[in-house]
Structure 1
Amino acid sequence: MTDNSHTQNLAELTDELLNKARSANSGRAAHGVYSGQYLKQALLTLTAGTTMAEHDSPPEATLQVLKGSVALSAAEETWELRSGDLMTIPPQRHSVTAHEDVAFLLTIRTDVS
C-alpha cells in the first residue's frame, strides 16, 4: 500500500481558489486535493451567481460546503446548503448555483460505476 499521507490547509486553498474564481470569466476554480484508489476529492469555488449547469451525477458522492452557500437542484427538488452542511448528491442530473462566493469539497467514490 502506498502512503499518500500529506497535509493541506483547505482554508488557505479556499482563499487562493476564490481569488482565481473572481478573476476567471467562468467565475469558477477547482483543485484536486486527493486521488486514491477508491476516492477522489476536489475543492471547488464559485463566485456569487455562478451556476454549474446541469450535469450527470457520479454513482456515489457528497458535497460539503466549507464557505458560503449554494443551491443544489435535481429534478423537481432544490436543497439550500450553507457553510458546514454536508449532503449526499442525488443520483440524477443536477446543477449547483452559488448564492454568495462559495467553496465546497466534492468527494467521489471511484470504485463503482
Structure 2
Amino acid sequence: MESESLTTLGEELLASARSANAGRAARTILGGHTHRLRQTLIALLAGRAMGEHDSPGEATIQVLRGSVRLTSTNHDWSGSEGSLGIIPPERHELEAKEDSLVLLTVVVDL
C-alpha cells in the first residue's frame, strides 16, 4: 500500500503558494486516466481565491488547515480545520480566509 504524508506535502505546497503569483499551489495525489476517484491537495493563501469555476461533478472538500468559504448562487459554506463540505453542482468560488490546505475529492466519469 502506498502512503503519502499530507502534512509534509501540505507544507511544501504552502511554500510553493507563497512564491506563486496566484497565491496557490496544488498536487493530485490520487487520480489519472485509469482512476474514477481523484484527490487533489490544494494550498491557498489568505485572501486569495479560486475564481468562479464549474463544478467538477460529484465532489467534496475537506479543510485540513485554515478556513475557507465556498460560494455560489445558491450556496454559501464556510469550513475550518476538520470540516467536510459537499461541492454544489453549479459554478462556485473558493476563497481562503487564512492560509489553508484543502483536500478535493472528485468522482470522475471514465
Band the TM-score falls in, shorter-chain normalisation? over 0.9
Q: TM-score, normalised by structure 2?
A: 0.94
2:75–2:88 contact (8 Å) kept in structure 1 = no
**Partner secondary structure for residue 47 of structure 2:** coil
Structure 1 or 2, whichever has the larger Rg, is: 1
Question: Which of 17, 22, 29 matches 1:21?
Answer: 17
**Residue equivalent to 1:51:** 49
Structure 1 runs of 4+ aligned residues shifted over 4 Å read none
Q: TM-score, normalised by structure 1?
A: 0.91
Unaligned runs of 5+ in 2: none
Tell me the CA shift for residue 76 of structure 1.
4.1
In the aligned structure 2, how far is the partner of 1:58 from the partner of 1:25?
Answer: 24
Unaligned runs of 5+ in 1: none
Count of residue correspondences: 108
2:23–2:45 contact (8 Å) kept in structure 1 = yes
The residue identity in structure 1 corresponding to 2:70 is: L
Tell me the CA shift for residue 32 of structure 1.
0.7
Percent identity, aligned pairs only, is: 47
Tell me the CA shift for residue 61 of structure 1.
0.4
CA RMSD of aligned residues (A): 1.2
